[in-house]
A = this chain, B = another copy of it.
Amino acid sequence: MLNTQKTQVLDCTIRDGGLVNNWDFSIDFVRDLYHYLNTAGVDVMEIGYKNSPKLVSTEGVGPWRFLDDHFLKEVIPNKQQTKLSAIVDIGRVDENDMLPCTESHLDMIRIACYLKDIDKAIKLNNTFKALGYETSVNIMAVSNAMEHDLSEALVKLNESSVDIAYIVDSYGSLYPRDIAYLVDKFSLQCPNKKLGIHAHNNLQLAYANTLTAIEKGIQYLDCSVYGMGRAAGNCPTELILGYLKDPQYEVKPVYEGIEKLMIPLRKKVEWGYIIPYTITGQLNEHPRSAMALRHSENKDRYKDFYDQLTTVETTLD
């Protein structure tokens, strides 16, 4: 593993947080957040998805789901130290939408990928690399991967031109000991790549898991302000910045951002430690059933929800 370079803090509030509010952030909100993150010394701000509106429904969805390069330059007219990244979903991105990196505000493109799509991810990556972007492949749902499938994917990634291989705990079900195991595995089977971690907080372990990854030498750390992200949310940016000793980072602007941006937002939409997400995390399941529950009138019927997910007839066939 290449861990000689300094830690890179990547804030994904707008991107992963957009999964909570359908990317309904105002331009001022995103611009202000960029200011706070840049002042705090955050290395990269992930400002949304670069999916294609031709391939995904745009109904009721904000512009951060389909980042347009010209729009982006209006949003952040004075780009400063903090770089910008976007993520793409396999099958939802049109490669023809992409400008060369030198003509774009975006510095990095990340590819979200399930193990079965690793070849597609590497093919997409080659396009983005040819356009001059820094790239990552983010292997989702790694807690459900079979060992030999993961090994095969890591060997392929290691031989590719991808810059960063990401461990993604999509279900928020991994423990620090699992992260230690996975970082060792990625380091061994992907020695040519930088490594990153994207944790979810279903079990209140997103920060602890990220700390474990830091101690193991992982370089790219995903986080979001006040933990905003799908379901239980992510590793909070303010906790990471309060921990890292590198003088580049300053936590205070993030606290100001929480005060000004996130507290009002949290009154309208929810994320964080919410029991149905805890339950899906403990059961190592996608949170979609819990998200549906939270949008129903049974949102606080935890016992029934637990029964529903653990009753043998409904879980096995």
Once A201-B204, A204-B201, A205-B207 are accepted as A-B contacts, the answer to whether A275 and B302 lie under 8 Å apart by CB is no
Give chain B nearest CB distance to A184 CB in angstroms. 16
Does residue A114 face the partner (Cβ distance < 8 Å to B)?
Answer: no
Check B275 against A176 for contact (C-beta < 8 Å): no
- Chain B residues closer than 8 Å to A306, beta-carbon distance: 251-252, 255
Number of this chain's copies in the complex: 2
- Bound-state Cα–Cα, A11 to B174, Å: 24
Is B300 within 8 A of A263, CB to CB? yes
Chain B proximity of A214: nearest CB distance (Å): 11
Most chain B beta carbons < 10 A, residue from A204, A211, A242: A204
**A241 to chain B: closest residue by CB:** B282
Q: Produce 1/0 per residue, A264-301, CB < 8 A to B.
A: 00000000110100110010000000000000000011
Tell me if A115 counts as interface (CB < 8 A to partner B).
no
Q: Complex: how many Å from CA A19 to CA B69?
A: 53
Question: What residues of B have a CB within 8 angstroms of the CB of A263 in the complex?
Answer: 300
Question: CA–CA, A282 to B255, complex, Å?
Answer: 13
Q: Which of A76-108 contact B (CB under 8 A)?
A: none
Tell me if A303 and B204 are in contact (CB < 8 A): no
Residues of B contacting A272 with CB < 8 Å? 273
Q: C-beta contact mask, A1-16 vs B, less than 8 Å → 1, else 0?
A: 0000000000000000
Q: Is the CB of B255 within 8 A of A279?
A: yes
User: Which chain B residues border A259 with CB–CB below 8 Å?
Assistant: 275, 300-303
| Given A201-B204, A204-B236, A239-B278, A303 and B255 contact (CB-CB distance below 8 Å) | yes
Complex CA distance for A211 and B205, rounded to whole angstroms: 10
Closest to A205 in B: B208
A54 lies within 8 A of chain B by Cβ: no
Interface pair A275/B201, CB less than 8 Å apart: no
A175 at the interface (CB under 8 A from B): yes
Name A177's closest neighbour in chain B (CB-CB).
Answer: B215
A259 to B243, CA, bound (A): 34
Are A282 and B176 closer than 8 Å at their CB atoms? no
Which residues of A are interface residues toward B (Cβ below 8 A)?
175-177, 201, 203-208, 211-212, 215, 226-227, 236, 238-239, 242-243, 251-252, 255-256, 258-259, 263, 272-273, 275, 278-279, 282, 300-303, 306-307
A-B CB contact pairs (8 Å), 27 listed = A175-B243, A176-B208, A176-B211, A176-B212, A177-B215, A203-B239, A203-B242, A204-B204, A204-B206, A204-B208, A204-B239, A205-B207, A208-B208, A227-B273, A238-B275, A238-B278, A242-B278, A251-B306, A252-B303, A255-B275, A255-B306, A256-B303, A258-B302, A259-B275, A259-B301, A263-B300, A272-B273
Q: Which 8 A-B pairs have the closest CB atoms?
A: A208-B208, A256-B303, A255-B302, A242-B282, A259-B302, A204-B207, A255-B306, A263-B300
11 new A-B contacts, CB < 8 A, other than A204-B206, A204-B236, are A176-B211, A176-B212, A201-B204, A203-B207, A205-B208, A207-B208, A226-B275, A255-B279, A256-B303, A258-B275, A258-B302
